[in-house]
Amino acid sequence: MTDYRAVMDLVLKGWSVRQIRSTVGCSHTTVQKAREALESSGITTESQLAGLTNEALAGLFHDGRSTGQGDFVPIDYDAVSKARTGRHKVTLQVLWGRYTATPAADGQRYYSYERFRQLVAQHVDAAGLTARITHAPGHTMQVDWAGTKMRLFDPVAGRGPKISVFVASLPYSGMIFACACPDERQQSWLSAHMQAFSYFGGVAEVIVPDNASTASNTISAADRNRRVNSTYEEFLEHYNTAALPARAKKPKDKASVEAAVKIVTQKVIHALDGHQCVGLDELNTRIRTLVDAINTATPFRNQDTSRREVFNEFERDQLAALPATTWQRTVWKRAKVAPNFHIIIDTARY
């Protein structure tokens, strides 16, 4: 049955027909009837609607369908949305407990927890809200390449070779790392990971890369999931972590590093336009200075703190310790013994 009281309440709040239909699960005709009932009864405020008894509400609708939904206590969606945003979010289980603790009028009853969750989810979709993902400290490190490339300086020609910028982010604290690499091949990819681990002073439980071939390969044309390639898997095993590649065309799977790439592009790559660094080491020194400034800048997340302060207080000790030895890549090849009892590896005879 239609909750006319809830529909009328949303009409008074100025919600559109589409939002009301999606949240309450009613038709366009129901919304129009609710508007006509408000006009005919002269109700213009939410307090007037709250003072309307169930019997009076039923009298406004001649089809008699108001009684079923009118038996439910309405949900304060604004209060629920406010409690679900910010750093100190309240769980839906607690919010449902608060909902059931509110006084109910005669004959009214409460939504079940499952129905409460459904209605809140519909409200989020209809109002265009986004449920923020909660990250645990030290759990995830997201990595990606910046779309904008840099160039080294050539004292003779002026324009040197193109340079790729690797970006890593810890979603919980927002800590950012960036470094310049000569290319986007696997050796540069793994070397950038090691530099990020060293910068953060530890290793997260899960690494979230994109679906580049340096990290994962397709399983089959019919399967959208990807398999972590063997070299990357060996590298992660050495650092006692694992990879969970993001899905194709799903940027929200690694939203933190997507935001970090934008910050690095604006405050590092563009800030270093016209630099005269002739080598990667010199360029990375400048990049590190700007990245440190980003991590120590305040305010952060509308609070008088910085990324590094949040990291030092909550996340640094949650990262796994670095191994005693750094990872060294091993390449396995099959070699055929020549008639002179030698094998050839990279043009060298053994």
Flag whether pLDDT at 218 surpasses 50: yes
Domains of the chain (ranges; CATH) run: 4-127 (no CATH), 140-318 (3.30.420.10)
10 Å Cβ neighbour count for 306? Answer: 20
Which of 66-75, 140-149, 174-183, 219-228 shows the lowest per-residue confidence on average (mean pLDDT)?
A: 66-75
* The pLDDT value given to residue 136: 86
* The pLDDT value given to residue 67: 39
Which of 22-31, 107-116, 157-166, 203-212 shows the lowest per-residue confidence on average (mean pLDDT)?
A: 22-31
* The pLDDT value given to residue 139: 92
Give the 3-state secondary structure of residue 166.
strand
* The pLDDT value given to residue 65: 41
Residues 254-309 have pLDDT tens digits of: 889 999 999 999 999 999 988 888 899 999 999 999 999 999 999 888 788 999 99
Among 73, 85, 56, 152, CA closest to 112:
73
Mean of per-residue pLDDT scores for the chain: 85
Structure-token pair, residue 163? 């340079």
* The pLDDT value given to residue 192: 96
- Mean of pLDDT values over 160-188: 94
* The pLDDT value given to residue 88: 72
Flag whether pLDDT at 70 surpasses 70: no
**pLDDT > 90: percent of the chain:** 38
In order of 92, 229, 262, 267, the CA distances from 147 in angstroms are 38, 23, 9, 14
**pTM, entire model:** 0.62
Using pLDDT thresholds of 50, 70 and 90, give the confidence band for residue 66: very low
Residues 278-290 have pLDDT tens digits of: 899 999 999 999 9
Cis peptide before 299 (omega within 30 of 0): yes
* The pLDDT value given to residue 318: 93
Strands 242-243 and 223-228: unpaired
Using pLDDT thresholds of 50, 70 and 90, give the confidence band for residue 127: low
For residue 2, give every residue at least 6 positions away whose Cβ sits within 8 Å of its Cβ, in sequence order, or none.
Answer: 24, 26, 30, 65, 66, 68, 69
Rounded to whole angstroms, the Cα distance separating 270 from 287 reads 11
* The pLDDT value given to residue 172: 92
What's the chain's length in residues?
350
Rounded to whole angstroms, the Cα distance separating 341 from 54 reads 98
Instruction: Output the CA angle 129-132-137, nearest 5 degrees.
Output: 170
226 vs 111, higher pLDDT:
111
